Chain A
Amino acid sequence: MIQDKKAHKFGMVIDLDKCTGCGSCTVSCMAENNIPFKEDESDKKDSLTWMRVYKLTNGKPFPETQTAYLPRPCQHCGGKGDHGHSPCVSVCPATATDYGYDTGIVSQIYTRCFGCRYCMAACPYHARYFNWWDPVWPEGMEKYLSPNVSPRMRGVVEKCSFCYHRYQLAREQAYFDETDEIPEDAYQTACTTACPAGAIIFGDLNNPSHKIHQIVKPDPHPDPLNHDVVGKSRNPKVFRLLERLGTNPKVYYMSEREWVRKLGDSYLEGEWDKVKNHHGAASHD
């Protein structure tokens, strides 16, 4: 049996000031996870990109314009109160997607999925993609496919798995090495290792020795303003997407620029000024 019994909470923090929008994370993800490609990929709604990079702009006219990039993997939501009821998991009639209480990873079992796409409708982050077609590789190119991730078929939903197969390999290695501990660098996602700017940091949010814990400083207590929100960052530069929904994503973003942080949610007029300086339950610092 696998000895690793401690509950992990794997998460990611992406430094949007370092991100150059180069797309290496997207390509590394596609190469790692056997994601196919087709002749026209310009319709982004049906373009399978587990890791998608969005372009942000401050909307100001020339020359005050500013832009930034925001890479978006699956947010691996913990759901309201972080109890594991992610928006997608709650609606799946086939238990094809599930919350891993030992890792915090939201799984996707392709062979169980029958393509109802409730999860896609439930996901507030557009992180899920539907296979409208069977994957086809140009002749011979299927030789580069990795056996660690099953190629998907028409009619199922797929999404980022935080490179779960890499976790499995790290766990096997730890078992082989007869240790309980999976070292921080033994399990890193393909996008993290690919990022040439070093903008992505991945690790265990529950482990205080991991870099991500030190940057995010997640608040273990519910947000006093909204009890559904758990794990809010106590770092004033760090935010999550649509945080107030209480989906409790495990992907955090970081930026020095206020306009970038403000784009993390849809604020009504005046709302941002009320919440911008609120960084978790200060009493628990």
Chain B
Amino acid sequence: MKVDRRSFLGLGLGAVAGIAISPVGAKLTDDSSIWTQNWPWTPVPPDGKITYGQSVCTLCPGTCGISVRKIGGRPVKIEGQDTYPVNNGGACLHGIAGLQYLYDPCRVKTPLKKNNGRFEPISWEEAITLVAGRLGKLRKNQNPEALACITDTNLGSVPGLFSHFMAAFGSPNHVFMQTLESWLTQTAQTLHGPGHTLGFDLENADFILSFGAGIIEGWGSPVACFKANSGRRQRGGKLYQIEPRLSSTAAGADKWIPIHPGTEADLAMAMCGILLQENLFDPEFAAGFRGGLNRFNAMVQQKYPVEQVAAITGISAADIKKTAIAFAKAKMPVAVPGKGRGDGAQSLKEFAAIHTLNCLTGNINKKGGTFVKPVPEYLAFPDPVQDAVARDGAAKEKLAGSAPELVTKIHQSDAPVVDTLFVYNANPCYTLNDPIQTSAAFEKIPFVVNFTAFMDETAMASDVILPISTFLERFEDVPSKAGFAGLVVGLARPVVDPVFDTRSPGDVLIHLAKTLGGTMGESFDWPDYKTCLKSLVPGIWNDLYKKGYAVVSQGPPAGRMETNFAFLAENPPTIQPQGDADLILVPIDNMRVASTAPASSPFAIKTVSDRVIKNTDMFVEINPKTANGLKDGGFVTLTTPAGSAKVRLNFNEGIMPGVIGMVKGLGHRFDNRYVAGKGVNVHELISPVIEPGSGLDAAFGVKASISKA
């Protein structure tokens, strides 16, 4: 066939017309657009009925009521519970990210046993039998005090059950992590006698003198403090922030008074001296002063003269006087101790000196003041049933007053101090100063049993892991603490069935005690934890179960309060930072980073500034004046007596020259690529200094030097 011009054109035009009319083109375009809009790998969340579950968050001591939105029974979002008397509808980022903890890649999914350095899954029966076997031997050998226990706090029925277990077992060695509440209890005990703790009515106070307390950075009950701070602005209340660094609290304060780190106690003492000298103390309240007010007065006048303290603290004498007088003349002044979140290493002297300012103003147990209140006692534990072995063991001397002291003792001792250690809801191998020493101490303990939901640093150093349910999967009573003015007990309850093979810690202890049998079984004569809890809180169970919370006390506690100055009148020494370098390294509490157990969620880490963490590099804050020719963003080696780390510099005009600030809560060493392996754990650069008297770690900072890396 001959293709001439005519047929060529005809064919061409025909083809064009054909393609234009044919549906193939349209079909292909349609197909390709459909194909490009198919994303089978993108999840399509199933729809369903919307319901809400009420619970209480236990991620920090804040104890906020939460409302969990569920769709088709699946929890999808956590928000603050509007009617809950602590947070009144608010929530913080960690609580809102709470669902990430439920499905965290680090969740321990089943009981684990360490075998030659590797964990292997075992059944609950095997795990309980293994632990009970070990414990049975201790009692058989009449050596029950070789069982020690570390829990995060001593409040609530779960730590209470651990105490009950230890008492029935026959060991006095139940110690606690350092929290703001433990500092406040110690302070109240020292000044007002045992059985007391402190609360601060920040909601109503008109003058807050904060000695570094991060009122809007996680101090106390964070959401309650945020609300009190917003309310203060509306009320016209004043906030003076005394702190070496322009924290968010300092930036939002009426006045920021930079102070040399670690000299807060001296400043508070000098201020006490001014109030006494200028007769600015409350004579009525002073009638309750015991233990040598005159002696105390003479001591502060002699040892803490304003000019000398001005030189130590770096605050001018005029400013110290003005601040002290403004504080004393305010209607409802409150002096707040506890740097940052208030749970770090600090000294009892500092807390006591600051609280003495409150005592001198007499604004104690009044609206807008400091509440000296009884330690919460809403739990009716039956007496533990003890046999002869338990009685002997429990009567032995306590090894240590706190978790850091226990760990230091174990580390320093050649002989085995502890045979078996229980750890609940704490991560000492990360949070205590010098975690490397802590891990070494853990190595020395033959058998560590960890009640945890997450495979964190301490879990990795344990021998048996008993995986517990998170706060979204179980019942627990949650008392307010950490300086919250009243006492609200909330009920955390399961909003979802346990995602993995986990149990409530109370149930595990009951099971364990029953397996041990004898007096242990008799002491734990409850079928399960929920029944146990119900029997422990007979007065408030109905409220707890129906409303989700019970308000046990509200408003100022009644009665006059005596104040004993004996401790301060002796002028205990101020703990100095270790080392002899020129700079001083202090940890910074950043609201967006969780600093204790559990670690931050992926969402929380996502919000962290790129001037804190960049890739995996840690930044430290430093005043450009201190940097001595080093560059902003440059790498340096930061060296302290405890160790050294490669970090980058973040020039910050808002930090005192001579001070280096490092955010707490980073540099985790467990297996979670979203959270761990980023930055440096500041505790690795600080060694603990146990304060005589309190038994708590007082190493708030450490001397440090930097050199170009």
Whether chains A and B associate is yes
Q: Number of contacts between A and B (CB, 8 Å)?
A: 184
State which of A27, A61, A140 has its C-beta within 8 Å of the C-beta of B97: A27
The verdict on B682 contacting chain A, using a C-beta distance below 8 Å, is no
Query: Within A115-145, which residues are at the interface with B (CB < 8 Å)?
Result: 134-135, 137-145
The verdict on B100 contacting chain A, using a C-beta distance below 8 Å, is yes
The verdict on B180 contacting chain A, using a C-beta distance below 8 Å, is no
Query: Are the CB atoms of B96 and A194 closer together than 8 Å?
Result: yes
A73 and B222 CA atoms in complex are apart in Å by 24
Query: Within B607-632, which residues are at the interface with A (CB < 8 Å)?
Result: 607-610, 613-616, 623, 625
The verdict on B77 contacting chain A, using a C-beta distance below 8 Å, is yes
Query: Are the CB atoms of B42 and A134 closer together than 8 Å?
Result: yes
A284 and B448 CA atoms in complex are apart in Å by 74
* Chain B contact residue count (CB 8 A cutoff): 72
The verdict on A235 contacting chain B, using a C-beta distance below 8 Å, is no
A197 and B216 CA atoms in complex are apart in Å by 9
The verdict on B105 contacting chain A, using a C-beta distance below 8 Å, is yes
Per-position contact with A for B673-706: 1 when CB-CB < 8 Å, else 0? Answer: 1100000000000000000000000000000000
Query: Are the CB atoms of A31 and B603 closer together than 8 Å?
Result: yes
Residues of B within 8 A of A141 (CB): 100, 103
Residues of B within 8 A of A31 (CB): 77-78, 96-97, 99, 603
Query: Within A127-185, which residues are at the interface with B (CB < 8 Å)?
Result: 134-135, 137-147, 150-153
Residues of B within 8 A of A199 (CB): 230
Query: Within B484-517, which residues are at the interface with A (CB < 8 Å)?
Result: 499
Query: Are the CB atoms of A22 and B673 closer together than 8 Å?
Result: no
A150 and B77 CA atoms in complex are apart in Å by 15
A20 and B249 CA atoms in complex are apart in Å by 8
A198 and B603 CA atoms in complex are apart in Å by 21
Interface residue range, chain A: 35 or more
Residues of A within 8 A of B256 (CB): 63
Query: Within A59-87, which residues are at the interface with B (CB < 8 Å)?
Result: 59-63, 65-69
The verdict on B273 contacting chain A, using a C-beta distance below 8 Å, is no
Per-position contact with B for A197-208: 1 when CB-CB < 8 Å, else 0? Answer: 111000000000
Residues of B within 8 A of A67 (CB): 246, 248, 251, 654
A62 and B657 in contact (CB under 8 A), knowing A37-B603, A41-B606, A198-B227? yes
Query: Are the CB atoms of B248 and A21 closer together than 8 Å?
Result: yes
The verdict on A17 contacting chain B, using a C-beta distance below 8 Å, is yes
Query: Are the CB atoms of B216 and A26 closer together than 8 Å?
Result: no
Q: Which of B85-93, B277-285, B387-395 contacts A (4 or more CB under 8 A)?
A: B85-93
CB distance from B571 to the nearest CB of A (A): 30
Query: Are the CB atoms of A43 and B105 closer together than 8 Å?
Result: no
A44 and B615 CA atoms in complex are apart in Å by 11
A144 and B248 in contact (CB under 8 A), knowing A20-B591, A138-B105, A139-B105? no
CB distance from B633 to the nearest CB of A (A): 13
A143 and B472 CA atoms in complex are apart in Å by 14
The verdict on B348 contacting chain A, using a C-beta distance below 8 Å, is no
State which of A38, A47, A62, A196 has its C-beta within 8 Å of the C-beta of B653: A62
Q: Which of B43-51, B151-159, B422-430 contacts A (4 or more CB under 8 A)?
A: B43-51
Residues of B within 8 A of A197 (CB): 90, 216, 226-227, 229-230
Query: Are the CB atoms of B499 and A140 closer together than 8 Å?
Result: yes
A143 and B39 in contact (CB under 8 A), knowing A24-B96, A197-B229? no
Residues of B within 8 A of A194 (CB): 79-80, 90-91, 96
Query: Are the CB atoms of A152 and B99 closer together than 8 Å?
Result: no
A42 and B616 CA atoms in complex are apart in Å by 9
CB distance from A145 to the nearest CB of B (A): 4
A27 and B93 in contact (CB under 8 A), knowing A41-B605, A43-B610, A197-B227? yes
Query: Are the CB atoms of B248 and A69 closer together than 8 Å?
Result: yes
The verdict on A269 contacting chain B, using a C-beta distance below 8 Å, is no
CB distance from A20 to the nearest CB of B (A): 4
Query: Are the CB atoms of A17 and B78 closer together than 8 Å?
Result: no
A144 and B80 in contact (CB under 8 A), knowing A23-B604, A39-B674, A43-B610? no
Closest B-chain residue to A155, C-beta based?
Answer: B36
Query: Are the CB atoms of A22 and B74 closer together than 8 Å?
Result: no
The verdict on B373 contacting chain A, using a C-beta distance below 8 Å, is no
Closest B-chain residue to A32, C-beta based?
Answer: B77
Query: Are the CB atoms of A142 and B92 closer together than 8 Å?
Result: no
CB distance from B75 to the nearest CB of A (A): 6
Residues of A within 8 A of B (CB): 17-18, 20-24, 26-28, 30-32, 34, 37-44, 47, 49, 53, 55, 57, 59-63, 65-69, 111, 134-135, 137-147, 150-153, 190, 193-199
Interface pairs A-B: 9 shortest CB-CB: A196-B90, A20-B216, A23-B607, A27-B93, A141-B103, A145-B45, A196-B226, A153-B39, A65-B654
Residues of B within 8 A of A (CB): 37, 39, 41-48, 71, 74-80, 87, 89-93, 96-97, 99-100, 102-105, 216-217, 222-223, 226-227, 229-230, 233, 246, 248, 251-252, 256, 258, 499, 591-592, 602-610, 613-616, 623, 625, 653-657, 673-674
Further 16 A-B residue pairs, CB within 8 A, beyond A40-B616, A42-B613, A135-B42:
A22-B592, A23-B607, A24-B92, A24-B96, A30-B606, A31-B603, A39-B673, A62-B656, A65-B654, A141-B100, A141-B103, A143-B74, A144-B75, A194-B79, A194-B90, A196-B80
Show 17 A/B contacts (Cβ-Cβ < 8 Å), sorted by A: A22-B222, A22-B591, A28-B93, A31-B96, A61-B653, A65-B246, A65-B654, A67-B246, A67-B248, A143-B74, A144-B74, A144-B100, A144-B103, A146-B76, A152-B42, A196-B222, A198-B90
